[in-house]
Amino acid sequence: MGELEVSLPTEVVASTVRNPKLMIIYSPPKTGKTTLLSKLEGNLIIDLEKGTKYLDALKMEIDSLDQLQSTGAAIVKAGKPYKYVTIDTITKLEEMCLGVAKQMYMGTPMGKNFDGNSILELPQGAGYFWLRQAFTMWLGKIKKLADHIILVGHIKDKYIEKKGKEVMAKDLDLTGKLKQIVTSDADAIGYLYRDAENSLVLNFKSSDEITCGARPAHLKGREITMAKYDEETNDVTDVAWNEVFID
């Protein structure tokens, strides 16, 4: 087999991607993230937790992975008509993948006689490997449904040591190494919170206390005021998605 001819670059190569292709947004409960996502034009929210019942949105409620598979096939058959697809939430998707993980394990010689209720019952944490395999398989399928995929997550509090003291930190609620795999794959991770003026702020500024960050230059190190939240109407105004997904 002969060597392929390679043309080496002689100058800086311009970037070809500006907006995040895979983005994670997580926040405390009832912050308004799903309401905010309902205002993103062209965004199909795949609701795994029945959290959009009271929202006007481009949405579908999904109860099972079989239904998610059929929905994905329909999206592809329709020519991928959505610019964005949101999974709400990846915490629920992880839970739904437990059954697939069990099936995958039972399809191996060592697992064919497994009769436990959950794959996580395997000794020495072996079940988490199969959960990661199942989840990453499904995430791969989801990433093919649109140019931009948004994963909505729950928050998990954890304690870290800082200057000899334990402090509370905000983290994405996914299991162990799975969180590392998903976050390393993401182009942007934003922590959504309400500020003192009840505005929704999306933080991409990484710190010890908050898991977040971004590769795109226009998001890196920023805190973006995304909308004003009205508690009386449970709605948002002055939405600034154009700050996240730029032309």
DSSP 94-114: HHHHHHHHHHHHHTSGGGTT-
Give every CB contact of residue 79 below 8 A, 6+ residues apart in sequence: none
Tell me phi and psi for residue 170, to 5 degrees. Answer: -100, 130
Peptide bond into 89 cis (omega under 30): yes
Specify the range with the lowest mean pLDDT, choosing from 12-26, 27-41, 73-87, 163-177: 163-177
pTM: 0.88
**88-135 tens-digit pLDDT:** 989 999 999 999 999 999 999 988 888 888 888 888 888 889 999 999
**Exposure of 117 by Cβ count < 10 A (0-12 exposed, 13-18 middle, 19+ buried)?**
exposed
